[in-house]
Amino acid sequence: MNLFEKIKELVPLFNEVSADSVVFQSGSYLHTKCPVEDCNGKTTVSIPKNVFYCFDCGRGGDLITFKALKQNVSPLEAARLLINEWSLDIDFEEEAKQLNLNKTPEIEQKVPKIDAVEREKYKEWFRGIVKKFEKQGCIDDRQLDNIVQFTKHLDEA
């Protein structure tokens, strides 16, 4: 396991997201503000998958990506912050040395890899979300486009 994987195993994305933000939980999903400062979108976190996705700016990814976007730092710096903030028993300097930096997680890793069964679950969930947002009048055309885009990606994957 590399540095990033070790951190992700110790800190569920759920914990990081709910540490200092207002979150709403519905089933196995969390809804909260996007980690990107100038994005006013809603980010949705899949608790069991440990990934997030923002309907507004289309950014998504894992815990490291979330932290990096939120603090506006590199994935490596995000790792260092997470180790400190969660008092993890990980030697940052040592682990960072062993890291192949060509293989750091993509900061804008758009869509998590999922299998066919999960894909259907996601699509089902998206339909529900879109209906809910439409009803509450808090989804605009751009957000809807992003959702359609994401759902299309699921179809093609």
Q: Say how many C-beta atoms besides its own lie within 10 A of residue 143's C-beta.
A: 19
With CA atoms as reference, report the closest residue to 16 among 29, 3, 35, 2.
35
Distance CA(76)–CA(64), nearest Å, equals 8
Smaller CB separation from Zn ion, 54 or 129 = 54
Contact between 54 and Zn ion by CB under 5 A: the answer reads: yes
Smaller CB separation from Zn ion, 83 or 139 = 139
Binding to Zn ion (CB under 5 A): which residues in 102-121? Answer: none
Contact between 56 and Zn ion by CB under 5 A: the answer reads: yes
Given strand 24-26, what is the order of strands in its sheet? 24-26, 29-33, 42-46, 51-54, 60-61
Query: Which range touches Zn ion (CB under 5 A), out of 4-12, 41-49, 94-102, 121-129?
Result: 41-49
Contact with Zn ion (CB under 5 A) among 2, 12, 29, 39: 39
Smaller CB separation from Zn ion, 7 or 57 = 57
Contact yes or no for 39/142 (Cβ under 8 A): no
Residues that bind Zn ion (CB under 5 A): 34, 36, 39, 41, 54, 56-57
